[in-house]
Chain A
Amino acid sequence: MSIFSKIAQIFDSGKNQQEQSPQGTKQVSGPLSLDTVLQEFKECSDLTRYNFPQLQAELLLFEHQIDMQIYERDVLRPLLNIRKEELDNLLSQSQFESVTETVKVVEKILQGSVALFVPQGVYLVDAYGPEKRSIEQSQTESAITGPHDAFNESLETNLSLIRQKFKSNRLKVRRFEVGELTKTRVCLLYIDGIASKEYVDEMASRIESIEYSSLYDGTMLTQLIDDFPNSLFPLFQTSERPDISVSKLNEGKIVVLADQSPSAIIAPSSFFEFFTTPDDYYNRWAVGTALRLLRYLAFIITISLTSLYVAITTYHYEMIPENLLVSLTESRSRVPFPPIIEALLMETTIEMLREAGARLPTKIGQTIGIVGGIVIGTAAVEAGFTSNILIISVAMSAIASFVIPSYVMSGSIRLIRFGLIILSGMLGNFGFIAGIALMIIHLSKLTSLGTPYTIPAAPIKPMDWKDIFIRGPFWSFHQRPSQSASPNKNPNKMKK
């Protein structure tokens, strides 16, 4: 045997060993008994065991995983009140599920079931109901008008919030389990007859094919299932607001909910949808349209203002009118850095302030804002560290970036701004336009669940424009968005 085949053998044997011991629940061998299950939970001190000597019954459960009321009503009280002869009768009730495999018992206990070991066999009672946060307002997507409730970390609560708003049996829910270790429950929601079957199946197959040991949040899930994981842009919209999910379901889109996550994934999504909010629909349409246009203006300002400042002050001073030129040169004359360094420095400072403010408690966050905005801003100009026009430009860019309703999209755009500043510093207006062109080329390539990300601008779907670029009056909405490829185009008519 050659040395290479020996090495290959060593690698193969390692691989086999890995396959035999997966990260998740261990494959348990041997007959189902209390001892084998206890062996599986060895050193799990949070496992609770109850003994009923008169019934020769044992209970195994995780108290923090279960709803104590269900547990008391369905398991504890009946067991305390019956005699041994009545046990068969009790076990024939529907909440008791007979099991024969150790693996299943282990899994179900982990998922909030109570395992009952009696001479007749092993039974499981589903009593899942861990502690959860109450329904509150969303911190990241605050609402001014319209419903204020937001999703929390409980899948059941989130499902109920959607069902409360959508009382139709056409709302279908498919269940999945993701993550070998976390075994996170994931639900795929769609409306039968409105959502495209092709998209539903595609999304289901993407969720099923995830090979990742742990899943903690919906926003993490989007990165595991989206079309271009390396893109800067979020390809699926995420939202904590049930009203957004419901309206998107009605548009023929798919909503994915993950347990332990307040973020619902909406698919497919278009780039322009990230600039819309449900508040647009709760306002009069003219106000909604004005707000939407304002957001697009904010997008243009946030990506271009500082970059253009850098381009103009580096290469194109002739573009500045005489009156402005005097104050700008005066202010710039004390700054020892080239505009690109000055701009990057200030943009980084603003980003640090934002990040510090976001991580700190609200009261300290405010202090950081004052320290950053007034002290650093004013002092930096007075010290000749930066020009005051740049401060205005950076501040306006930062404010404009927060006008974009999606926090994830806003982060992506802020990062793109840095690239544009660098290109503008290197090649002036040419670099700026080259950067914009690169961004457009990249955007044009992107797809969300296989559909064009830049729809309805490209491919051109003029019928959708009245609900993307403006917020048209309700009477003008005659069809669902093209991106949904809905079999039922008319939003006001439900086919039988």
Chain B
Amino acid sequence: MSHEKLHRFQIALLIFNTQTGVVLFILPRTVATYFGTNGWIALIFMFLPITLNILLITSVYRLGRGASIFAILKSGIPRFLLFPIYLVMGSGLAMVGCLVIKQYVMIYQLLIFPQTPDIVLKLVVDIIVFLLVTKGIYNISKANVFFVALLITMVPLSFIFMKDFDITRMSSFFFKEGKDFGQGFIKVYGSFMGYELSLFLFPYAEKGKKWLKYIHLGNSMTVLVYLLVTVICYGFFNYKELVHLSFPLLDMFGYLYFPFVERVQNFLYSLFLVSILITGGMYYWSSQAVFTELIPRLPWKWVLFFVMASTFIVAFIPKSLIEVEDWFNVLIYLQLGVAIVIPLLALLALLIQKGRKRHA
């Protein structure tokens, strides 16, 4: 029978869909708040550090000759040191997955179901995510192809706004009236998070190094979509208006009308569920991979169940979207840790391993 490997283009789509999520609805506001006029240019600047970060991750794959990140770390770093790292990493990744879903359902509750407890909606999404993740990474990537196809249908809709796009709203100033560039960079960097999960895909990808380029492709797709949305929002509204809009993209979609249907923002936001399933699902899958490394005797589906069940309980704590955003502000640092520190640790482990071999 066919022995499936993750097709490289599927990896690109997986990275793209893990990166995009609810953040797309908030991004124009974030960019406008922190970078002010023509803040969308910050996204282009962001491309460089992220590309460097991806190069760091891919160098681990190249030097480790395709071994899994856990095998590399284990080969050079003592287990007692790895244990707390895995524990923090696994819990952090699971919390990111949980909060991504929590944020989505809270916005949903705000927009459509004000009387339904958000936790009920979260339970529904969690069940779907659980069913998705238990199918394994190959099937997640296959489902993701269809999910991306559904999301891509939204891209042509953006061009409908071209007639309302006014270049004068963009202003001729750059980065004026913004606040706290440092914080802004971290927030925007956080909106690109998701590519770091490629660390866990090493054993599942095709053999060879070709697929590594496709992580960049996935990231480039994200940058393009973010740019498209942000630029259109800047030209449709203006940066001052954007600062005051909670979900600029949804407000923009609110102007859409067709002969049979109008005010489609609710439907389009519902469609974004498929992106949330992948973002949440991939973080839960990665968390499960880390915890399975810690408790190899427990079947991975049970590990996933316990991880999801415990984060579900934690999800009761944040009561508002602002609280969720505050939690995210903390978790961004953990994500950065996974994206930068873990590959550096892996490179160190490879160096130690090489040194040992030389002595032997």
Q: Kindly supply a per-residue 1/0 record for chain A positions 433-476, scoring 1 wherever the CB is within 8 Å of any chain B CB and 0 otherwise.
A: 11011101101110101111010011110000000000000000
By the criterion CB–CB under 8 Å, are A430 and B262 in contact?
no
Q: Does B128 contact A (CB under 8 A)?
A: yes
Q: Which secondary structure dominates chain B's binding surface?
A: helix
* Stretch of B155-163, B227-235, B253-261 with 4 or more beta carbons under 8 angstroms from chain A: B253-261
By the criterion CB–CB under 8 Å, are B7 and A459 in contact?
yes
Contact residues, B245-271 vs A (CB, 8 A): 257, 259-264, 266-267, 270-271
Residues of A within 8 A of B7 (CB): 459-460
Measured in the bound complex, the distance between the Cα atoms of B1 and A199 in whole Å is 7
Q: Does A202 contact B (CB under 8 A)?
A: yes
| A321-B257, A429-B266, A430-B112 as given contacts; A458 in contact with B142, CB under 8 Å | yes
| A444-B143, A458-B146, A460-B7 as given contacts; A324 in contact with B131, CB under 8 Å | no
| A315-B112, A445-B139, A450-B1 as given contacts; A440 in contact with B146, CB under 8 Å | yes
Q: Does A320 contact B (CB under 8 A)?
A: yes
Tell me which of A321, A428, A445, A450 contacts B261 (CB under 8 A). A321
Residues of A within 8 A of B145 (CB): 454, 457-458, 460
Q: Does B295 contact A (CB under 8 A)?
A: no
Nearest A residue to B131 via CB reads: A441
Residue pairs across A and B with CB atoms within 8 Å: the count is 112
Measured in the bound complex, the distance between the Cα atoms of B108 and A320 in whole Å is 20
Q: Which secondary structure dominates chain A's binding surface?
A: helix
Q: Does B180 contact A (CB under 8 A)?
A: no
| Smallest CB separation, B277 vs chain A (Å) | 6
Q: Does A68 contact B (CB under 8 A)?
A: no
Q: Does B9 contact A (CB under 8 A)?
A: yes
By the criterion CB–CB under 8 Å, are B264 and A319 in contact?
yes
Q: Does B274 contact A (CB under 8 A)?
A: yes
Measured in the bound complex, the distance between the Cα atoms of B253 and A318 in whole Å is 14
By the criterion CB–CB under 8 Å, are A452 and B266 in contact?
no
By the criterion CB–CB under 8 Å, are B2 and A438 in contact?
no
| A319-B267, A452-B142, A457-B145 as given contacts; A444 in contact with B135, CB under 8 Å | yes
Contact residues, B105-143 vs A (CB, 8 A): 108, 112-113, 121, 124-125, 128, 131-132, 135, 139-143
The interface size of chain B toward A, counting residues with CB under 8 Å, comes to 41
Measured in the bound complex, the distance between the Cα atoms of B139 and A430 in whole Å is 23
| Smallest CB separation, A236 vs chain B (Å) | 15
Residues of A within 8 A of B150 (CB): 436
By the criterion CB–CB under 8 Å, are B132 and A428 in contact?
no
Q: Does A198 contact B (CB under 8 A)?
A: yes
By the criterion CB–CB under 8 Å, are B112 and A437 in contact?
no
Nearest A residue to B133 via CB reads: A441
| A430-B273, A452-B4 as given contacts; A459 in contact with B267, CB under 8 Å | no
Residues of B within 8 A of A427 (CB): 121, 124
By the criterion CB–CB under 8 Å, are B261 and A320 in contact?
yes
Nearest A residue to B274 via CB reads: A437
Residues of A within 8 A of B121 (CB): 427, 430
| A324-B260, A458-B10, A460-B9 as given contacts; A441 in contact with B143, CB under 8 Å | yes
User: A interface vs B, CB < 8 Å?
Assistant: 198-199, 202, 312, 315-316, 318-321, 324, 427-430, 432-434, 436-438, 440-441, 443-445, 447, 449-452, 454, 457-460, 485
- A selection of 24 A-B contacts at a CB cut-off of 8 Å is A198-B1, A318-B266, A319-B264, A319-B267, A320-B262, A427-B121, A427-B124, A428-B113, A428-B270, A429-B267, A430-B121, A430-B273, A434-B273, A437-B147, A437-B277, A440-B146, A440-B274, A443-B143, A444-B146, A452-B4, A457-B145, A457-B149, A458-B10, A460-B145
3 residue pairs, one from A and one from B, having the closest CB atoms: A450-B1, A458-B145, A458-B142
